[in-house]
Chain A
Amino acid sequence: MANSPKDRRYTREDEWVLAVDGEGTVGITDFAQEQLGDIVYFDLPEPGARVRQFAKLGEVESMKAVSDLFSPVSGEVSEVNPQVADSPEVVNKDPYGAGWLLKIKLADPAELDNLLSAEDYDARLAEGEGH
Chain B
Amino acid sequence: MDGEASPKRSPLDDAHRRMGARMAPFAGWEMPLQFAGVVEEHNAVRQRAGVFDVSHMGRLFVSGSDAAALLRKALTYNVHRLPDSQGHYALLCREDGGIIDDVFVYRMEEGRFLVVDNAANAERDRDHIAALVEPGMDVRVEDRQAGTAMIAIQGPESPRILSEALSAALVERLPRHGCAEFELSGAKAFIAQSGYTGENGYEMVMGPDQGRALWEDLIGSGVQPCGLVARDALRLEAALHLYGNDIDTGTNPFEAGLGWVVDLDDEPFVGKEALLRAKREGVRRQLACLKAMGKGIMRADCPILHRGQTVGRVTSGGFSPALGVSIGMGYLPPALAVEGTALEIDVRGKLLPAEVVRRPFYKRPL
Q: Name A residues whose Cβ lies closer than 8 Å to a Cβ of B.
A: 37-38, 40-41, 43, 59, 61-64, 66, 85, 89
Given contacts A37-B38, A38-B37, A38-B39, contact A64 B229 (CB under 8 A): yes
The smallest C-beta distance from A28 to any residue of chain B, in angstroms, reads 17
Residues of A within 8 Å of B33, CB to CB, are 64
List 6 tightest A-B contacts by C-beta distance, closest first.
A63-B38, A40-B319, A38-B39, A38-B38, A64-B229, A61-B297
A43 and B296 contact, CB distance less than 8 A: yes
- Knowing A63-B229, A63-B233, A63-B318, the reply to whether A41 touches B296 (Cβ < 8 A) is yes
> Interface readout for B30-64 with A: 1 if CB under 8 Å, 0 if not?
00011001111000000000000000000000000
Are A85 and B319 in contact, CB atoms less than 8 angstroms apart?
no
Q: A38-B39, A85-B295 are in contact. List 16 more A-B contacts (CB 8 A).
A: A37-B22, A41-B295, A41-B296, A41-B326, A43-B350, A59-B348, A62-B38, A63-B39, A63-B229, A63-B233, A63-B318, A63-B319, A64-B33, A64-B38, A66-B297, A89-B39
Q: How far is the CB of A41 from chain B (nearest CB, A)?
A: 5
When distances are taken between beta carbons in the complex, the residues of chain B under 8 Å from A37 are: 22, 34, 37-38, 229
Minimum Cβ distance to chain A for residue B344 (Å): 16
Q: Mark B80-124, 1 if CB is under 8 A from A, else 0.
A: 000000000000000000000000000000000000000000000
**C-alpha spacing A73/B12, complex, angstroms:** 46
B224 to chain A, nearest CB (A): 14
Distance from B21 Cβ to chain A, minimum over Cβ atoms (Å): 12
Q: Which of B229, B326, B348 has most chain A Cβ within 10 Å?
A: B229
**CB of B299 closer than 8 Å to a CB of A:** yes
